Amino acid sequence: MRTWRLDLGAVSLAVNERGEADAPAALVAHGAGSTGEFAARCWSGLVEAGYRLVTYDLRGHGASTPLPDPVDHALPRHVADLAALVDATGARVVGGTSLGAHVAAAYAVSGAALDALLLAAPGWLGAGAATAAAHAAVAEEVAAIGAAATLARIAADPAVPRWVVIELDRAWPAHHPESLVAALRAVAADPAPGLDALANVTAPAGVVGLVDDPGHPFAAAEAYAAALRRGALESLTLGEWGERRAILGDAALAACRRAIASR
């Protein structure tokens, strides 16, 4: 693993690379409140497929610069960070999970030249509606009682898979507390790319939908795959993802290969 930082003025991003140094780069963004380390485990199959996997802590997350103002976590700023990392790594494959999927899709919509787009568990299309409201509620809970107490409440909810609790316990303490709240507030307020915009993406795209996760409705993944000119969809359950984290990236890559073959 190679670790480095990308300095973008007031913001510095913590970046990790895995795989052969001269392999083509695949750049993947994580979700709100998560970390690049989790992304690396979920997308490790890209290394086995011959890519140099580039993951990073999104702005305001983990070892990247803390940002306590939600304005600094707005989707266009994440997209600009991704674009800067593409320039720095030469990546022509980009992707992401949840918020990271929104970031990657918005970057692709901007007209970027890509060989492939990999999107896992997009949260919503356009305005977030009920899903965004749920994110906003968690943000306010963390702001009011703290991350530890919020995690305890989540852990006590029998509807939340145990592996999700374990990953949250691992990720949230890595963030500056005020920056975590800002990130959760921002993701609830930001619209994701809309169907009309996705239709302009020409790169082959693999989309993964979670059939039993209300926080990432399967209908959103279906709509993404249908809107993309060259999109294909794979489905997973939370249980399957929990049994093997890397199944997420493997499913996205399999869907993308089907999209390529169907042309």
- Domains of the chain in sequence order: 2-261 (3.40.50.1820)
Please return the burial class of 215, using the count of CB atoms within 10 Å of its CB with bins 0-12, 13-18 and 19+.
middle
pLDDT at position 132 is 79
Least confident of 5-19, 88-102, 125-139: 125-139
Bridging pattern class, strands 93-97 and 116-120: parallel
Q: How does DSSP classify residue 243?
A: H
Given CA atoms 174, 179, 181, 183 in this order, what sign does their dihedral have? Answer: negative
pLDDT at position 192 is 81
Q: How confident is the model at residue 194 (pLDDT cuts 50, 70, 90)?
A: confident
Q: What is the mean pLDDT of residues 188-211?
A: 92
pLDDT at position 128 is 62
How many Cα atoms sit within 13 Å of 197 on the Cβ side? 16
SS3 for 188? helix
Q: Name the average pLDDT for the chain.
A: 95
Q: How does DSSP classify residue 187?
A: H
Range of 23-37, 124-138, 191-205 with top mean pLDDT: 23-37
Residue 13: is its pLDDT beyond 90?
Answer: yes
Query: What pTM did the predictor assign?
Result: 0.97
Read off the amino acid at residue 93: V
Residue 126: is its pLDDT beyond 80?
Answer: no
Residue 68: is its pLDDT beyond 80?
Answer: yes
Q: At what angle do helices 147-155 and 129-145 cross, to 10 degrees?
A: 120
How many Cα atoms sit within 13 Å of 108 on the Cβ side? 39
Residue with tokens 């609790």: 165
Q: What is the mean pLDDT of residues 206-233?
A: 95
